[in-house]
Amino acid sequence: MNGLRVSLSLFVTAAFVTCIIHPSAAIDVQPTREQMRAALARGREGAQQHSRPDTFYVRFGGTDDRQAGGFLVTKLVGLSVMAAHMALRGLEPGPADITEVIEAPTMLVSTVIFGDVPSFAVDSYMALDQGGKIIKPVTVRFDGQAHRSATWPEPPRFKAKVVASFNYADFDPTANTIITVFPANGGEVSFSVDFAQIK
């Protein structure tokens, strides 16, 4: 078990990585109609250019499948993703679809981390740190069975998703934020993301 803890500490722990996205006021918790129209238009245009809907995700961390990283989905990002998905099927989001995204009380944060055993991500946890204030998630999900990594059979041999949702009312949408994932067997992986720079 101690060997596993050391292994996880070596391969799951990652350096802080700053997420740099196009400038914005911050995460928009209550988007205006104009912001909503623009987000929907971005999604439609992306579909017309045959871009994958997931290109709208706000990504952080590693830039390839050998590094820990992840993405988050804000309300405006959610609108662009939905519009792109529907446009690819020749559809348009209706008022109910838009309302469901805009009135969602939580923001999704999805991460990929690495370890050396297939079950390393079981019971993982995630939290946000904003200047010492710790924000707990509403929900956390994790892969019970990790997948082989790009470095298999060399360590770290497995990669897994840990996904959490955070209540918009609980965090500052303008703050520099440390997203940290805590695998149950030890180690941690952290990412620095400036919420003031994303939508």
Q: Is the pLDDT of residue 173 over 90?
A: yes
Look at residues 180, 143, 157 and name the one whose alpha carbon lies nearest to residue 14. 180
Q: Is residue 111 within 8 Å of residue 161, measured between CB atoms? A: yes
- Average pLDDT on 154-171 reads 95
Question: What pLDDT band is residue 198 in, cutting at 50, 70 and 90?
Answer: confident
Maximum distance among all Cα pairs of the chain, rounded to whole angstroms: 55
Task: Please identify which residue in the block is written with the tokens 């918790």.
Answer: 29
Q: Is the pLDDT of residue 2 over 50?
A: no
What 8-state DSSP symbol labels residue 80?
H
Look at residues 162, 120, 124, 110 and name the one whose alpha carbon lies nearest to residue 145. 120
Question: What pLDDT band is residue 19 in, cutting at 50, 70 and 90?
Answer: very low
Note the pLDDT of residue 186.
84
Relative to beta strand 139-142, strand 147-148 is unpaired
Question: What pLDDT band is residue 4 in, cutting at 50, 70 and 90?
Answer: very low
Per-residue model confidence as pLDDT tens digits over 63-80: 888 899 999 999 999 999
Note the pLDDT of residue 22.
37
- Average pLDDT on 22-42 reads 83
What 8-state DSSP symbol labels residue 73?
E
- Average pLDDT on 97-105 reads 96
**Cis amide prior to 173 (ω within 30 degrees):** no
The 3-state secondary structure of 158-186, one letter per residue: EEEEEEEEEEHHHCCCCCEEEEEEECCCC
- C-alpha span between 56 and 97 (Å, rounded): 18
- Average pLDDT on 18-41 reads 74
- C-alpha span between 160 and 129 (Å, rounded): 22
Q: Which domain holds residue 52?
A: 2-197
Cross-strand pairs, 174: none
Number of domains forming the structure of the chain: 1
Look at residues 66, 89, 43, 77 and name the one whose alpha carbon lies nearest to residue 157. 66
Note the pLDDT of residue 199.
61
Model confidence, pTM: 0.84
* More confident site: 156 or 21: 156
